[in-house]
Structure 1
Amino acid sequence: MVVWERPEPPERPSPAPLSRERIVRAALRLADADGLEAVSLRKVAAALGAGPMRLYGYIATKEELLDLVVDAVYAEIRPTGDGWREVLRSLAESTRQAVHRHEWLADLIGGRPQLGPHALARGEAVVAALGGVDLDLVMPVVGAVDAYVIGAVRREIAERRAERATGMDKRQWQATFGPYLERTFATGRFPALAGVVRDAAHLDADETFRLGLDFLLDGIGARIEG
Structure 2
Amino acid sequence: MAVQDRRDRSEEQDSTPLWQRLERPARAPRTPLSPERIAEAAVRIADTEGLDAVTMRRLASALGVAPMAAYRYVNGKDELLELMVDHVYGELELPAMEAADWRQITRVLALRLRDMLLRHPWVSRADWCGPTPNQLALLENALAALADNRLDADTSMSMYSTVTSYVRGAVDSETGLKQMLRTRGWSSHEEARLELAPQMQWLIKTGRYPMYERYLREAARKDDIQWQFEIGLDSVLEGIAVRLEADRAAREA
| TM score, norm. by length of structure 2 | 0.82
After superposition, what is the alpha-carbon deviation per residue over 1:166-222, rounded to whole angstroms, capped at 9, x for unaligned? 111221111111222222212222223222222233341001000000110100000
Q: Cα offset for 1:122?
A: 1.3
* Alignment gaps of 5+ in structure 2: 1-15, 247-253
The amino acid that maps onto 2:84 is V
Q: Cα offset for 1:162?
A: 1.6
After superposition, what is the alpha-carbon deviation per residue over 1:17-49, rounded to whole angstroms, capped at 9, x for unaligned? 122221111111111221112211111111111
Please name the residue that 1:55 is paired with: 70
Please name the residue that 1:11 is paired with: 28
Pick aligned residue for 2:88 from 70, 73, 84 = 73
After superposition, what is the alpha-carbon deviation per residue over 1:49-99, rounded to whole angstroms, capped at 9, x for unaligned? 111112212111101101110111111223326111011111110011101
Classify the secondary structure of the residue corresponding to 2:27. coil
Q: Does 1:99 align with 2:114?
A: no
Q: Does 1:180 align with 2:199?
A: yes
1-structure distance, mates of 2:17, 2:85: 15
1-structure distance, mates of 2:138, 2:214: 43
Please name the residue that 1:209 is paired with: 229
CA contact (8 A) 1:106 1:157 kept: no
User: What percent of counterpart residues are identical?
Assistant: 36
Please name the residue that 1:197 is paired with: 216
Aligned residues: 222
Please name the residue that 2:5 is paired with: none
Classify the secondary structure of the residue corresponding to 2:122. helix
Classify the secondary structure of the residue corresponding to 1:52. coil
* Greater radius of gyration (CA): 2
1-structure distance, mates of 2:199, 2:217: 14
The amino acid that maps onto 1:74 is Y
The amino acid that maps onto 1:72 is H
2-structure distance, mates of 1:150, 1:221: 21
Relative to structure 2, which stretch is displaced further, 195-204 or 125-134? 195-204
1-structure distance, mates of 2:175, 2:200: 24
The amino acid that maps onto 1:116 is T
Please name the residue that 1:64 is paired with: 79
Q: Does 1:2 align with 2:17?
A: yes
Please name the residue that 2:241 is paired with: 221
2-structure distance, mates of 1:183, 1:156: 26
1-structure distance, mates of 2:29, 2:233: 50
| TM score, norm. by length of structure 1 | 0.91
Please name the residue that 2:105 is paired with: 87
2-structure distance, mates of 1:48, 1:191: 57
1-structure distance, mates of 2:208, 2:166: 32
Q: Does 1:155 align with 2:170?
A: no
* Alignment gaps of 5+ in structure 1: none
Classify the secondary structure of the residue corresponding to 1:59. coil
Please name the residue that 1:137 is paired with: 155
Q: 1:190 to 1:73 in 2, by over 3 A?
A: same
Q: 1:139 to 1:12 in 2, by over 3 A?
A: closer
CA contact (8 A) 1:99 1:106 kept: yes
1-structure distance, mates of 2:46, 2:126: 12
